[in-house]
Copies of this chain bind each other. A is one copy, B any other.
Amino acid sequence: MSRTRVHNLFVSLDGYAAGEHVTFDEPIGGAGRLFGRFDGRAIHGVDGVDAPITVDRALTTLWGQGIGAEIMGRRKFGPQTGEWADDGWQGWWDDEPPFRTPVFVLTHHRRDTIEFANGTSFHFVEGSPAEVLQLARDAAAGQDVRIGGGPTTVRQFLEADLIDFMHLAIVPITLGRGTSLFGELDGIEDRFEIESVSSSSGLTHQLWNKKG
């Protein structure tokens, strides 16, 4: 069974998982405080090999385990909107995108696939969540598919009831505005078994497993 998984989604107490306007200087739209109590590596799931092994680290490093493909919104790939001006922008990650699998970027504007030596490739696609998920499943070759965000993309897959697992990290701050993870979703908790645990950093980790 290939599952659809969300990892390391940091959410404020008022339900925001990103700011409003993504820019080159503010990749998550001014909501950087979401990561203030954490070391930030979890954004990319990159593991500091020699770092202490904490509850936060144990949970955030689930990010890459058993994952064969990712789906991300265009805004996670870059701050541009509309037609691609040129092929110069290749994502935020320089020569080492941490994904190391095929990544499907949701966009209405076609562009050639980009391939990196470390196994990451970016494929620019449009379609319904179910259609794009099928592309990603085929590419994942039996492994799980990660829905990599941002929050608007995760919400679309939640609305389509296509999420099997979510790891949310509830951050004890309020943002007041931003991009809501839940929007007008109502009662989605009924579809999941939810386990909560708080770590010494002050984060509350929630593991949402779809009911069988």
Residues of A near any B CB (own CB < 8 A): 1, 3, 5, 49-50, 52-55, 58-59, 61-62, 65-66, 165, 167, 193, 195, 197-200, 205, 207, 209
Contact = CB atoms under 8 A, between A and B. Distances in A.
A189 B193 CA distance: 35
A199 B205 CA distance: 11
A62 B193 CA distance: 23
A197 B53 contact: no
A59 B58 contact: yes
A198 B200 contact: no
Contacts of A53: 5, 62, 165, 167, 207, 209
Contacts of A165: 52-53
B52 A193 contact: yes
27 contacts: A3-B50, A5-B53, A49-B66, A52-B165, A52-B207, A52-B209, A53-B62, A53-B165, A53-B167, A53-B207, A53-B209, A54-B195, A54-B207, A55-B59, A55-B195, A55-B197, A55-B207, A58-B58, A58-B59, A58-B62, A58-B207, A61-B65, A195-B199, A195-B200, A197-B197, A197-B198, A197-B199
